[in-house]
Amino acid sequence: MLPSLDVPRVELTAAREWDARASALAIDARLFVASSTAPEIHRFDVSPDGTLAEAGTLSFLNYGLPEHFSIDAWGNVPISSTKAYIFNRSDASHIVWNPTTFQIVGEIPGPDIIREGWEIETISVVRGNRMFRIFSYLDYEAWRFDTTTQYLAVYDVETDALLELVQDTRCPLLYNRPFADEAGTLYFSGWVWTPAETLVHGAPKNCALRILPGETRFDPTWQLIYADAITGGREGGVLRYLGNGQALLDVFHHENVQITAETSSDELSNSPNWRLWTVDLNTLSGAPVEGLPFKAGGYTDVPVAGRTFLMVPNSDYSETTAYEIVSGHAVPGFLIQGSSYQIIKLR
């Protein structure tokens, strides 16, 4: 718990420790936290002195949730103060729960998309009364990716009904967090694993797709292939929005390394050969962000209290630097031990 983000380092002396990987979200000034070792959500109220007071635990033990349970954007979708969806990777279903009453209130059966030997990687975004969810396939143990098969599912968040399930093969693994621009156009992109797959194993070029306002399917006339349109032949991923038509893109500078058939795509993704670029979605032009050096693949943008921070881990994820975007430049902010990707404003 911090009273301000304008500190040189976030110290962990007063932190609350959780087993394995913890995830969190805030709804109505309440904090919800989950550990990946148990399918439970813990609720906390914020006391007047800024400390956290435990306010109950909700268990999902009876729903067969797999390991790596989370309530961040990849595991949970808040719809309102009285409704949220927990995604169940074991069968592609959703568990409906009420953050206010702190009760489970229903379940949405999953579509018939489970494939033996593959894990489902998924992300979603809500626009109006529709939830748009991507289903992709990965095998983290063997480090392999299905770069050609994925689905777009459309749900009605008022009736909890699955309305559409459409396959699209143009862009590989669009499981980065989607975003909406000011007009309501939704953009979908991939993470940093697939650029390495493209360079080492010949996977399709990385790109972004969009869904226009009033539509429920990907725009068939629009496909943003980064290497062809923006980055001078370089692969990229993690397209995120800054506002006013400006976006961020993590770009791999392949000219800095020698890639052979024996190159590990895993190591390539984590190598310090990535730079964040700003992208103008109207002119399709781009350039590296000033003030941010080469780094390992991956970052998280965090808008909070009218400010935008970039959470950038070092190569071994032992420390994260929070850079703030100020007038288009990246200004180094606080440091924190470990890999950090969230800042949650409680009050």
Q: Do 236 and 171 contact (CB within 8 A), yes or no?
A: no
* Inter-CA distances, 333 with 8, 289, 295, 316, 326, Å: 7, 16, 16, 20, 11
Question: β-strands 9-10, 93-98: how paired?
Answer: unpaired
- Would you state the pLDDT for residue 14? 84
Identify the sign of the CA torsion 209, 299, 333, 254.
Answer: negative
The confidence score (pLDDT) of residue 216 equals: 97
What is the per-residue pLDDT for 151?
A: 97
Asked whether residue 115 is domain-assigned, the answer is no
Q: Residue 306: inside a domain, yes or no?
A: no
- Which two three-digit tokens encode residue 148? 């050609």
Q: What is the pLDDT of residue 309?
A: 96
Please report, for residues 37, 163, 209, 317, the alpha-carbon distance to residue 246 in angstroms, rounded to integers and kept in the order given: 38, 32, 16, 28
Q: What is the pLDDT of residue 140?
A: 87
The pLDDT, as a whole number, for residue 278 is 95
Residue 3's pLDDT is what? 86
Residue 176 lies in a domain: no
The answer to the question of residue 11 being in a domain is: yes
Residue 208 lies in a domain: no
Q: d(Cα 191, Cα 195) in Å, to the nearest integer?
A: 8
Q: Which residues in the chain land under pLDDT 70?
A: none
Domain residues for the domain of 82 are 1-110
Residue 6 dihedral angles phi and psi, to the nearest 5°: -90, 65
Residue 327 lies in a domain: no
Question: Residue 317 has what pLDDT?
Answer: 86
Pairing, β 9-10 against β 329-337: parallel
Q: Is residue 169 part of a domain?
A: no
**Does 139 fall in a domain?**
no
Over the stretch 10-65, which tens digit does the pLDDT of each residue have? 999 988 898 888 999 999 889 999 988 889 999 999 888 878 899 999 999 999 98
- The pLDDT score that the predictor gives to residue 265 is 86
Question: Do 344 and 26 touch, CB atoms closer than 8 A?
Answer: yes
Strands of 101-235 (E only): list them. 103-108, 119-127, 130-139, 144-156, 161-167, 179-180, 186-188, 207-211, 224-225
Domain count, the chain: 1
